[in-house]
Chains A and B, each alone.
Chain A
Amino acid sequence: MSVLRIGIVAAGVVALIALMLPAGAGAHAERATFFPDPNQGDFPTYRTDGPSLVVCKPNSRYRIAQIADPDLRRYNEELLSRCTFRDIQAAVNRAANGYRILVLPGVYYEKPSNGPAPAGCEDVYQRTANGQFALSYEEHRQCPNAQNLIAVLGDTDGDRICDSKCNIQIEGTGDGPEDVRINGQKTKLNVIRADRADGIYIKNMTVWYSDFNNIYVLETNGFRIDQVVSRYSREYGILSFTSDHGIYENCEASHSGDSGLYPGSGPNARHGQPDVHGHVYGIEIRHCVSHHNTIGESGTAGNGTWSHDNVFRNNAIGITTDSFAGGHPGMPQDSSKWSHNLIYSNNNNIFTDDRDAYCQNTPWEERDNRKVCPTFQVPVGTGLLIAGGNANKVEENYVFDNWRNGTMLFWVPAALRGENDSEKTYDTSSNNQYLRNCMSTRPFDLSAVDFTTCEGTRDSNGKDFWWDEEEGNDCVEEQAGCVDNDTQFGNCWSGNQGFDGETPSSDPVDVLLPMCPGLDVFRPGNADKQAFLVPCATWDPMTNTDPPGCDWFTTPPEP
Chain B
Amino acid sequence: MEAPRSATAALVAVFVCALAFAAGCGDDSGPGREQLTWIDTPDVVVPPGLKTDRILRGDVRNDSNKKLRIEAAKVRVYDDRGHRIKGSATFAAGYLHSLYPPTRGPSNVPDYELERIGKIATIDAGKSAQITVSWREPKGRRTAARIDYGTGSLRIPPEAKTRRERNF
Contacts and interface: CB of A to CB of B under 8 A. Distances in A.
Interface in A495-551: 527-528, 530-542, 544, 547-551
Contacts of A28: 99-101, 104
Contacts of A527: 43, 57
Contact of B95 (A326, A387, A417, A542): A387
Contact of A413 (B57, B89, B94, B117): B94
Interface residues of B, number: 41
B95 A534 contact: yes
Interface in B113-154: 113, 116-118, 132, 134-136
Interface in B90-109: 90, 92-104, 106-107
Interface stretch (B11-19, B25-33, B47-55, B60-68): B47-55
B101 to A, nearest CB: 4
B41 interface: no
B99 A548 contact: no
Contact of A549 (B47, B94, B96, B102): B47
B110 interface: yes
B101 A537 contact: no
A472 to B, nearest CB: 12
Interface in B21-44: 43
A547 B50 CA distance: 11
Contacts of A528: 45
B99 A22 contact: yes
A411 interface: yes
B7 to A, nearest CB: 35
Interface in B67-90: 72, 86-90
A535 B45 CA distance: 12
Nearest to A536: B95
A22 B113 contact: yes
Contacts of A22: 99, 106, 110, 113
B97 to A, nearest CB: 5
B94 A412 contact: yes
A413 B93 contact: yes
B134 A324 contact: no
A13 interface: no
16 contacts: A27-B97, A27-B99, A27-B100, A28-B101, A324-B96, A325-B98, A413-B94, A417-B96, A531-B132, A535-B55, A537-B118, A540-B102, A541-B102, A541-B103, A548-B86, A548-B87
